[in-house]
Amino acid sequence: MIPPSTTSAINGILDIALIPLFDKLIYPVVDRYMFKFTKLRRIAAGHIFTIAALIVGGFVSLRTAQHPCESFDKGQTYVCPDGALHVAWILPQYFLISCGEILLSISGLEFAYEEAPPSMKGSITAIFQVTTAVGNAMITVLALINASIALKDFIFAGIIFVVLIFFTLVAYFYKYRADEQAESRGLNINESAASLANFPDDNDND
């Protein structure tokens, strides 16, 4: 019997296994054969994976509630009735949430650091980390509500979906600093070229 507390290690193991896979295979393949997988698109994909993980977790919780297991030794071992779900049913949601974390958290940190001005990189990165604290506070508040785990999962999925809509709208109009700098350099070059073109030629004075 696997102690329930050890299942939380699955998330870390999947993260370690999937990070190189995303970095060396998935990102290059998507960039080359599908579309440019920018940081903002990765973050949006992370939202989608997170929503999927919560929905899957909610349905698994509903199924588990129909055939609950009982413990008689303070959670060390459980006795499950016929029809109870196998512990392996938690793997899909762990896989989805790990993909969501990689796409959202890692890409978000990279985006916050790369797009911040040099004098504010530390501050912007810290502000990004504050979002984790806000999320944990929301979890604490929802934990006080007398509702099933499945309902809470669905509520979180709905909240993230609303956030995804607003994020998509903002991301659609966002311009990367590198693009703005390139445009600025292009304008400066054009202005310089125009100035040289309007500069009087010595032959004209003759």
- State pLDDT tens for residues 51-60: 999 999 888 8
Per-residue pLDDT of 132-154, as tens digits, reads 888 888 888 877 888 788 888 89
Per-residue pLDDT of 190-205, as tens digits, reads 545 555 455 455 555 5
- Model pLDDT, residue 10: 81
Tokens of 45: 């994909």
Region at 69 (left for phi over 0; alpha for psi -120 to 50; beta for the rest)? beta
**CB-side exposure of 119: number of CA atoms within 13 Å?**
0
Please give the helix or strand (H or E) that residue 70 lies within, else none: strand 70-71
Tokens of 32: 């080359």
pTM here is: 0.74
| Of 48-57, 175-184, 188-197, the least confident | 188-197
- Model pLDDT, residue 66: 67
Domains and CATH numbers, the chain: 4-196 (1.20.1250.20)
Please give the helix or strand (H or E) that residue 78 lies within, else none: strand 78-79
pLDDT band at 62 (very low <50, low <70, confident <90, very high): confident
Q: Are 70 and 79 in contact (CB under 8 A)?
A: yes
- Model pLDDT, residue 67: 61
More confident of the two residues 129 and 59: 59
More confident of the two residues 75 and 134: 134
More confident of the two residues 61 and 44: 44
